[in-house]
């Protein structure tokens, strides 16, 4: 897993809003990986990121959600919960592999959130939180620092 002080791996992928290339996005980034769209924990997590979205933007941060689900699933997930941010499909598991967040079986991403500064350097890594939705609150705290 990449860690604090390392450069966040660049990627280009399809998302709920079209093709995204990390290196072309300006500002701070909150890149959160989650296991599977529409599951209870992942649903609570996206809902909390949606609730806090305006505060992320006010603090100069972009939010990016990533799972190994298909683009079609990501679009439905994003639409159902009114996500104003890209929900990215990592169907080939290349992004999850680059960040070191694939689960032990290699079937899905672990729930891990990376806070990346304006230069593309990882500033914080959030993992092993008790509740999925806590990722959004903790990520916002890190963005405000």
* Active-site residue set: 42
Q: Give the 3-state secondary structure of residue 97.
A: helix
Distance, CA of 66 to CA of 84 (rounded, Å) = 14
* 3-class secondary structure, 21: strand
Beta strands at 87-89 and 112-116: parallel, antiparallel or unpaired: unpaired
| Nearest alpha-carbon partner for 32 in 143, 107, 144 | 143
Give the DSSP letter string of 45-62.
HHHHHHHHHHHHHHTTEE
Report angle CA 36, 8, 37 to the nearest 5 degrees.
Answer: 10
């Amino acid at each position: 897993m990449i860690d604090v002080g390392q450069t966040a791996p660049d990627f280009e992928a399809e998302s709920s809003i079209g093709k995204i290339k990390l290196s072309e996005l300006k500002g701070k980034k909150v890149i959160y990986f989650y296991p599977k769209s529409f599951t209870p924990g992942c649903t609570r997590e996206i809902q909390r990121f949606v609730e806090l979205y305006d505060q992320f933007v006010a603090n100069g941060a972009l939010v990016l959600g990533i799972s190994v689900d298909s683009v079609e699933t990501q679009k439905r997930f994003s639409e159902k919960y009114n996500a104003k941010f890209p929900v990215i499909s990592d169907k080939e598991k290349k992004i999850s592999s680059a960040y070191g967040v694939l689960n032990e079986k290699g079937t899905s991403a672990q729930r891990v959130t990376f806070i990346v500064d304006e230069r593309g350097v990882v500033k914080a890594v959030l993992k092993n939180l008790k509740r999925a939705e806590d990722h959004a609150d903790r990520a916002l705290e890190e963005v405000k620092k």
